[in-house]
Structure 1
Amino acid sequence: MSPVAVSRLPVDEVADPSPASVVEAVASIARKDLAPLAADIDEGTVYPAELLRYLGGAGAWGTHRPKDGAADLCCAIQSISALGEVCGATAFMAWCQNTLAWYVTNSGNPALVARLADGVSSGKILGGTGLSNPMKTFYGIEKLKLKGRKVDGGYVVRGALPWVSNLGPDHLFGTIFEIEDQPGEIVMFLADCSDPAVTLTPCKPFLAMDGTGTYGVQFRDAFVSDDLILAAPAGPFVKKIRAGFILLQAGMATGLIRDCIAIMNEVAAPLGHVNRFLPQQPVNFQELLTELELETMQLARDPYNADDSYWRRVVALRLRAGDASVAAAHAAMLHCGARGYLKSHRAQRRLREAYFVAIVTPATKQLRKMLAEA
């Protein structure tokens, strides 16, 4: 997998940084510049670093920065959705980048915010999130894989994470370790992939989305300075950012579903006479998509809501979005028939991407566990 250069994109033309203009710019980039790369990203021959940076220049990673104690995720989710309509892998990387920005801009560490917030939000600094293992730990599914001990000026961290995405040799990502001599005490920090004590190991090939910069990450007594600590203790910080972490994933689902509807409509003329006997039709998924987007936008305007009822709505929405993604992609394949079974047809890619939406943390089974225990 290698980075790819792209032609100069119209990011400097975004004079009005309103949410609508950002989404419009992202959608234009998706259609003109991302679409030709989608198959290569899926196959893992391309990691679109320059495209991600250009998207940052268009405002894609900065619209959800907190202001006066409030934040709105609507534009960020709509931008991810616009990318997901073209390429599920890039929508996932957009979620990673937006989540990194969410961590940094919400941190109570003023030195970290001052040094990194602008760079991450503009795309000059790329990276992702390593909260898959911690998120499972919080619900009794796994144990924390990283341990740290306090030293002068920071911590020393050791351990390994099996999968972290949107990474490269100069990238950052947020994750959590447990203090060695204080069981249950956790610290959230930014890991610097350029640190010689942090090793990136390529993963075995995936079913789809191999161009997402996904690596196993090993920490060999890596020093993490206090300037890279997002929160210590991390518990209250995780509760603050958890709804945003999950809600931003909704963009991956809605974009994919929208394209699956388009795929079904594209084959209506030649195959409609027999496709009408299939139980799920484009109109059914359009109604479902409208409901999902309405609920998502309502929740996305209030990501710091601490009510238990709000949190249950967030988790339930994420579960529904994953189920809907798989159902829509499955229906698109059936509507296409044999032509969708060709490697050259995007219907089979959308099906493989849909399963990722359903299994990426928090996966369908974890979401059901979370709702059962809430």
Structure 2
Amino acid sequence: MLDPTLCHWLDDHAEALDLGHCDPEQVLPRLAAAGLTGVGVAPALGGTGGTLQDAVETIASVAEHSLTAAFVLWGQRAFIEYLLQSPNAALRERVLKPLLDGHLAGATGLSNAMKFLSGIESLQVDARSTAEGWTLDGRLPWVTNLRKGGFVVAAAIAHAGDGAPFVAAIPDGLDGLQRSDDLALLGLQSSNTAALTLTRLQLARDWLLHEDARQFLPAVRPAFLGLQCGLAIGLARRALAEVETHLGGSRSVLADELVEHRQALEGRVGELKSGLGGATFSAQPAALFRLRIALAESAAGAVQLELQASGGKAYLQAHGGAFARRWRESAFVPIVTPSLVQLRTELNRQAKGAAA
């Protein structure tokens, strides 16, 4: 359960966070101060304990109030997960505490990498070996949680020559690393989402997360996607809760549909938690892809049901501001990488391969 003070702040600032009228530098410190960045991290490492499933629920709880804040938390918690699964213990010891404290922002930067893993596109950052590490060139066109007060971003990198692609953490402040202005998004504007350009950037070997991207990416993909599902879960739950408040009078005809939506949603949440608790999603990623699609559809259906339950009031600016924000948020869920189209493309490719 979220801290009530944080809940009030998120509710009061949800619209401003979505429209970019709230200082994005405030978001991560508030989430960290409430202990949310450490959920699913062992106390011995500075976390608050629990499981990855608990971290999914935490992101979902934040998404019930603000998808922008939940998106920031997803980026932070996903990067922390990369550190937890990295064999580079020295790097973990160096940066985990400031990540948990919210003093340092963690950006996943692996959207391109997940497309690469599915054969959708090539890696967008290239490396040439040097005596101390690598020289990097390339671009990451869409990265969230690039906090101006300090960030570190994970990237999958193609190695010149015959070397295997690898995954590294790239800290801000290095020569050759340029952050763009925040992207002009339709919503989620206070999420510190921008592009990064790397030009002859010198990266030391002690920032290596894993030497083989083809081994590391499938290992972290269940956490990457599972945590991301928290966005859709929280949005759907909040929309359905709003439906319930409108079920008087003629709107009572929607009661059975509300029950059906809730049962379907929580059934999918149960499947997600079960899969994250074992090796199912590592061995059968298609099962996770289908769940990600289904949960996005749950969010879209819940917001549509909220519109029907609210009626014309939802279309009046004086009354429908929160609904309009959730409508914009629901439009984001299908396109966050990997998008539903990308997931369906991969599922179709796998089905054709199995039939061949």
TM-score (norm 1): 0.85
Report the CA distance between 1:43 and its aligned residue: 0.4
Kept in 2, the 8 Å contact 1:104–1:117? The answer is yes
Superposed CA offset, 1:82-114 (max 9, x none) = 100001111111110100101112111122111
AA matched with 1:74: Q
Deviation at 1:203, TM superposition (A): 4.4
Q: Provide runs of 4+ in structure 1 moved above 6 Å.
A: none
CA drift of 1:320 comes to: 0.6
Specify whether residues 368 and 259 from structure 1 end up closer, same or farther in structure 2 by C-alpha distance, changes over 3 A only.
same
Alignment of structure 1 residues 1-374 onto 2, 5 Å: 24=1, 26-65=2-41, 72-169=51-148, 170-182=150-162, 185-269=164-248, 272-273=249-250, 275-276=251-252, 281-302=257-278, 305=280, 308-309=283-284, 311-343=285-317, 344-374=320-350
Residue 217 of structure 1 deviates from its aligned partner by 0.7
Matching residue's letter, 1:168: R
- Cα-to-partner distance string for 1:278-307 (whole Å, 9 max, x where unaligned): 6983222211222122112212323x5575
Give the partner amino acid of 2:283: D
Residues 3-35 of structure 1 show CA distances to partners (whole Å, capped at 9, x for unaligned) of: xxxxxxxxxxxxxxxxxxxxx2x3524422211
2:246·2:310 contact (CA, 8 Å) conserved in 1? yes
Query: How far 1:179 sits from its partner (Å)?
Result: 0.9
Number of equivalent positions? 343
* Counterpart residue identity of residue 219, structure 1: L
CA offsets 1:24-69 (integer angstroms, 9 cap, x no match): 2x3524422211111111001224433422322333122323799x
Q: Secondary structure at the match of 1:227?
A: helix
Deviations 1:195-223 (A, max 9, x none): 23211112442221111100011011111
For 2:192, the aligned partner's letter is: G
Alpha-carbon distance between aligned partners in 1 of 2:237 and 2:159, rounded to the nearest angstrom: 44
Deviation at 1:122, TM superposition (A): 3.1
Q: How far is 1:350 from its partner?
A: 0.8
- Please say if residues 145 and 159 of structure 1, whose CA atoms lie closer than 8 Å, have aligned partners that are also in contact: yes
Contact 2:222 2:282 in 1 (8 A): no
- Structure 2: 5+ residue runs without aligned partners? 45-49, 351-356
Identity %: 25
Q: Aligned equivalents of 1:46 and 1:92: distance in 2?
A: 15
Give distance in 2, aligned partners of 1:146 and 1:156: 10
Q: 1:48 to 1:300 in 2, by over 3 A?
A: farther
Equivalent-residue separation in structure 1 for 2:130 and 2:264 (angstroms): 52
Aligned to 1:12: none
Specify whether residues 364 and 56 from structure 1 end up closer, same or farther in structure 2 by C-alpha distance, changes over 3 A only.
same
Letter paired with 1:180: A
Q: Which residue of 2 aligns with 1:4?
A: none
Q: 1:222 to 1:110 in 2, by over 3 A?
A: same
Q: Which amino acid is the alignment partner of residue 193 of structure 1?
A: D
CA distance in 2, matches of 1:39, 1:86: 10
Change (3 A) 1:362 1:124: same
Q: Mean Cα displacement is larger for which, 174-183 or 34-43?
A: 174-183
Contact 2:110 2:154 in 1 (8 A): yes
User: Which region of structure 1 is more displaced relative to structure 2, 196-205 or 88-97?
Assistant: 196-205
Consecutive unaligned residues of structure 1, counting only runs of 5 or more, are 1-23
